[in-house]
Each structure stands twice: as C-alpha cells, then as structure tokens.
Amino acid sequence: MKKKILMIYPETPVAYWSFKHILKIVGKRAAFPPLGLLTVAALIPDHYEVRLVDLNVSALKESDIIDADLVFISAMIIQRDSFERAVALCRSLGKTVVAGGAYPTGSYRNIAGVDHFVIGEAEITLPKFFSDYESGVPRELYSSREKPDMRTSPVPRFDLIKYGSYTTMSLQYSRGCPFNCEFCDIIEMFGRVPRVKDPGQFVRELDALYETGYRGPLFIVDDNFIGNKKRVKTLLPAIAAWQKRRRYPYMIFTEASMDLANDEELMDMMIDAGFNKVFLGIETPVRESLLLSQKGQNAGIKLLEAVERIQRKGLEVTAGFILGFDSDPPDVFDIQIDFIRRSGIPTAMVGLLTALPNTQMYRRLESENRIIKETSGNNTHDFDLNFRPRMDVEDLVRGYKKVISRIYEPSAYFGRCLSLMKRMPSGRFYAGAVTPRMILFVVRIFLFSLARQAFSSYGLRYLKYLAQAMAIRPAFFPKAVKMALFGHHFYKITQGIIAADDFSAYIEKIRLSLRKRAERIRLGRIEDIMRDLFSLDAALLEKRFIMKIQKKYRSLHKEFRQAVEDQLQRLGDEFRVYIEVMLQSLRRRFEPRMTEAAAVRELTLRFGEIKNRLKRRYRYLNRDFRSYFDGLFAFFDERVDTLIREFESRCEAEE
C-alpha cells in the first residue's frame, strides 16, 4: 500500500499581488498556482500517493491531515502566519512535517514544529531526504549549496490542481541572476550564474500544460528571464513555433532586467513568441540609491527612455519601486510620483525597503546594529520596518502613504493607462484566435467593471477614461476594461492599507493617553479617585473608547482587520494596567474607611452597578471585535471581586 503525502501551500494575505478584488469578479480563487510544490511533487518517488491543498483555493480539513503519512509545506515569508497555523495543526494531529521554500530556507533556525527541513533546491536535497526517510534515519536538516542542472528538473505535476481555480498558470525556465543587488535574496538562493532548461524540455512543459485544457495568461516565473540572453534567444523561436501551431493559446509575461530595452532583437523575439508584458525592477530613479544598493545596471540607463522603448515595441511594462534607501533624499516621494506618472506604467508596485534574511543588505545592517526584527515579507502593508532607516521613520511612512495614494488615485492611474495605449503599437492586445469563449469573457468583465466602477466614487472619471480609450485605440477597449479592473483592485487595496494604518495610529493615541492617565493616578495627581473610578465603565464601553473603536474597526475591510490585531491586543494590555493602577490607588485611599460597614456596602453596591452595566453593554459588541476584550472584562471582574473580599474581610475582623 502506498504511503500518502499531503502537500500544503499556505494562504497569501491580501496584498497588491494577491489581486483579491479581481478574483471575485472573474470567478477565480487565486492568482497563481504553487509551482514550486508542483515541481517538488514531480520529484517524489512513484511509490507515494500525493495530494495538494492550496489554502488560497480551499480550506484545510483535519481529515486531509489525518489521512496522510507525511505533510510537506512550502512557504514564502509573506505566508508565515498561515504556515505556522498549518504546522501547528499538523503537529496537534501527530503528523510528521517536512518544510521547504523561501521562508524555511531563510529562517529555519527560528521555526518551531517542523520535523525535517529540506531547504535549497529540491532536485539536490529531496532525494537525500527520501533515502534517509525510507532507511529510518531521517535528519532534521537537508541543505546543499550545490546548484542543480536545470535539465534535471521535472515537468510540474499539473494534475494535482484544478487550473480553473487560477487566473494565470506558471512555468519556470531559469534560476539565478547575473546581477548583484544588495537587497535581493534570489542571488543568495539560486546564485549569479543563470541556469536554464533546454528548449525541448521547456516545450514539453508547454505541452503538459496545454493537455490540461488551460488557455489564457502564462507567467514565466524567472526572476530575470533574460539573465542568459544567448540561451533565451535559442528558446524563444521554439516557443514562437509552438504558439503558432496552436494559434497562440497563451499570453506570456515574465520578469526581466532593464537592459532588455537595449536589445531590439530580443524584444522582437519575445513578441513573436506571444509575450505581451514584462515586470522590471526599476526600484528608484535616484541614481545614488541605485549605486548604494549595487544596482548599477539601472544607474547607467536613462530609465524613462528605456521604459518607453519597451512599451513601443508592444510589451506592457509593470514595475517594482522601493522607498527607504539610505541615500534617498527628502523629496524622493515626489520624485517617485513624478517618475511613475511620466513612465506610463499603470501597475507600479511601490514598497518599503525590507532587509530580507540571507542578503548582503541584511548582513551590512546587522553589522551596523540596525536590524530590529525579522521581516513579515509584506513590504507594501507592513509599516513597521525591520531595520532602522537613515530617514526618520515617521517621515518615511508618511511619504510612502503619500506615494501610493497619489499613484492609485483613479485619475492618475487612468492617465497612465491612456499613456500606455498611445505608445503601444496596433494589434498588440492579443495575438491568438478570437473565440466565442473569449468574447463572452470580455463581455463579462466589462459588465462587472461597469457595475463596480461606474457607480463608485470615481464613476465619472471611469466613464471618461473608457470614452478616451475608445477614441485613442478602439481595438484596445478590452485591454482598457481589464486595466480599469486592475485599477479598482489597487485603489481598494490602497484605501485598506491606509485605513488600517490610520486605525493603528488612533489606537496608539488612546493607548498613550491611558498610560499618561495611569501615571497621574499613580503619582496621586487625580484627587477625586472615586469619581474617576465610577466613570471607568464609560471609559471602557462608551463614546471615548471601545464603542468608538468598534465603529472604526468595523469600517475596515475584513481582509485588513488582521493587520490591527496586535494594536488591539496592546490596547487591552494597557487597559489592564490602567485598571490595576486605579484599583490600587482606590485601595490606598479607601483604607482608612475599610472598617466602616456602611462605606464598604456602598462601595460594593457601586461596583456591582458598574459590573452589571459592563455586562449589558458588552452584549452589544460585535462577536469578532468582542474577542479582543474578553480577557479584559474577566480581569476587571476578578480584580474587583478580590478587592471587595479584602474590604469585607477587614470590616468583619474589626466588628
């Protein structure tokens, strides 16, 4: 009987790249499949039965885990929370957990609950694990600096997923990048010598994907697809021939370095092969910051001209930008906004600089005693930097919020879309055959877009944009609608990011206010402690605090509420300190009257009234919000009961 392996891919939190708001519209569950796990699955010996659960697509059930002999989990840093929950559940059910991927590779020393770490590239380390496991002597850690020949990498196990759950499918051609960016962990994991698959091998993977029935966007996930230009120029004709034979079933996009703009032949070959989009790591238009981060390949290029050359060839440019470099000037935020506006790049992903583990930057900052903590991996949502930047943190975060607010303001976003359309040559929206299925899909997204955006707060700007798009390039209208939907996603995510941060700032303000008030009580600067005490229930539940907090909390989109959990927990802790200080102060001041039975009865009665009011009002809190304060009210009850018992005991002793 075959042993069973369950593969788990953790949930990716809401982010710009998650495309959550688009997924709902197009009826999909996730943007991309877990290509790494599908490749690992193909390396598992045939005498194992393999299942895969992608938590972005379906929930993990205990029965899935119970049925397995081994559980494999792979994760990126941004998936850490979901990864830890999955590991904890597997451990509670007594299962052996094997972990790999980017997050375990960089942080395995700090991860609990995993039995075996298989890190690095699986073509090298996974066979060693299975050899030891089947011999009954598996080690805790399997690691190797050896870089496998990509020609040994198998065709991914696409049979383990339902392609209809994803907007885009993925393949990999190469690993490694020839450049030396200080902040990048890719060169640490995969090296600086790009390793590639043979053209025939890659075509076989295209065949395998085609046989699943999938048609649509295809993402070649390489971090720098053109890292080895000579070899990629031997691949592209094979892809082009394959696409032409099948009437271009795939619209391909990938990631590349800026030097793509200087190679006309390469761009022409990519277009002939069906590429329509490329992601560029521009990072910043500030030359000093590029040089400091060891991204000299961008410092020697006129970036705006390079972007426009690529666009005019027929490749839409999406790009990544970073704020927080040591040499960023005070006006870097305005510089970034202006550059993005002039670039005609609709999808401009701006994030705060993050010190990733096992990077040159991390090691430098560590030597400078500037590392604060490990990163969450979410450089667009997490404003709590994991290192000390040269720029004032508040200025940096404020400037970042300004940038994302400006670039994803609908008028600015639609303006970049129109600039792109003017630059793109005719006929570059779609190279394949127009099928009834495609027409229905375009009609569907247009109707959804119209329903969501025409009646939104920016509805007039949206309708004006569509009219301008029709006037500029009628053939691009489906593309214009698709970009509008992306803009809606970016706009909603940006609003959510800023609202969550504003909420956190509001909670922090309350927390500091409570701390100051507790200090005044501790120092005896509040004379009427009884009056202050008996307004405590109002402070906890009425306008000043919790009811108002709940209203603001409920206004946050559900997907962003998790981001403020820590702040709410800290607020609860601050309330506990406040209550403790107040009750201790009351005890000291009431001590001379502890032997007066009438005074003790009055105090007991008043406390009883407070507790009853708290219980009644507590019922009106929403369930998801109430959970943050369950412990607080129990703490208040327990401390008050203890104090009353002490008073009553003293009084009885005197009598």
Q: What is the DSSP string of 585-611?
A: HHHHHHGGGTT-HHHHHHHHHHHHHHH
Both 476 and 547 in one domain: the answer is no
Q: Which two tokens stand for residue 47?
A: 């005498």
What local confidence, expressed as pLDDT, does residue 552 receive? 87
Pick from 30, 34, 29: nearest CA to 50: 34
Pick from 464, 469, 442: nearest CA to 453: 464
**74 located within any domain:** yes
Positive or negative, the CA dihedral 461, 403, 476, 422 is positive
593-652 pLDDT tens trace: 666 777 777 777 877 777 777 777 677 777 777 777 777 778 888 888 888 787 777 777
Positive or negative, the CA dihedral 290, 296, 302, 305 is negative
CATH number of 49's domain:
3.40.50
Pick from 107, 103, 86, 98: nearest CA to 140: 98
CATH number of 242's domain:
3.20.20.70
Give the residue ranges of DSSP H helices in 372-457.
Answer: 393-407, 410-423, 436-453
Both 133 and 178 in one domain: the answer is no
**225 located within any domain:** yes
- Identify the three-state secondary structure at position 52: strand
Q: Are 285 and 301 in contact (CB under 8 A)?
A: no
Length of the chain: 655
What local confidence, expressed as pLDDT, does residue 542 receive? 45
Q: Which residues pair with 48 in a beta bridge?
A: 3
Pick from 239, 225, 231, 327: nearest CA to 283: 327
What local confidence, expressed as pLDDT, does residue 428 receive? 55
Q: Which residues form the domain of 469?
A: 436-483
Both 135 and 176 in one domain: the answer is no
Domain boundary among 142, 160, 183: 142
> pTM, whole model, 2 decimals?
0.89
Residues 605, 611: Cα–Cα separation, whole Å: 10
Q: Are 223 and 246 in contact (CB under 8 A)?
A: no
User: What is the bridge-based pairing of β-strands 316-323 and 275-283?
Assistant: parallel
Domain boundary among 483, 516, 546: 483
**375 located within any domain:** no
Positive or negative, the CA dihedral 408, 482, 317, 308 is negative
Both 136 and 173 in one domain: the answer is no
Residues 44, 525: Cα–Cα separation, whole Å: 70
Both 210 and 100 in one domain: the answer is no
- Identify the three-state secondary structure at position 373: coil
Q: How many CA atoms lie within 13 A of 233 on its CB side?
A: 10
CA-CA distances (angstroms) from residue 285 to 1, 288, 583?
60, 9, 57
Domain boundary among 452, 483, 514: 483
**429 located within any domain:** no
**211 located within any domain:** yes
Both 471 and 531 in one domain: the answer is no
Both 136 and 176 in one domain: the answer is no
Both 8 and 53 in one domain: the answer is yes
**82 located within any domain:** yes
Both 215 and 345 in one domain: the answer is yes
For residue 16, count other CB atoms closer than 10 A to its CB: 22
The torsion angles phi and psi of 375, rounded to 5 degrees, stand at: -80, 155
Q: Collect the ranges in the chain with pLDDT lower than 50.
A: 528, 534, 537-538, 541-543
Residues 303, 296: Cα–Cα separation, whole Å: 12
What local confidence, expressed as pLDDT, does residue 24 receive? 81
Q: Which residues pair with 70 in a beta bridge?
A: 5, 96
Both 188 and 260 in one domain: the answer is yes
What local confidence, expressed as pLDDT, does residue 475 receive? 87
3-state secondary structure labels for all residues of 232-284: HHHHHHHHHHHHHHCCCCEEEEEEECHHHHHCHHHHHHHHHCCEEEEEEEEEC
What local confidence, expressed as pLDDT, does residue 525 receive? 59
Both 210 and 299 in one domain: the answer is yes
**303 located within any domain:** yes
Number of domains the chain contains:
4
DSSP class of residue 387 equals B
**504 located within any domain:** no
Both 54 and 172 in one domain: the answer is no
3-state secondary structure labels for all residues of 440-487: HHHHHHHHHHHHHHCCCCCHHHHHHHHHHHHHHCHHHHHHHHHHHHHH
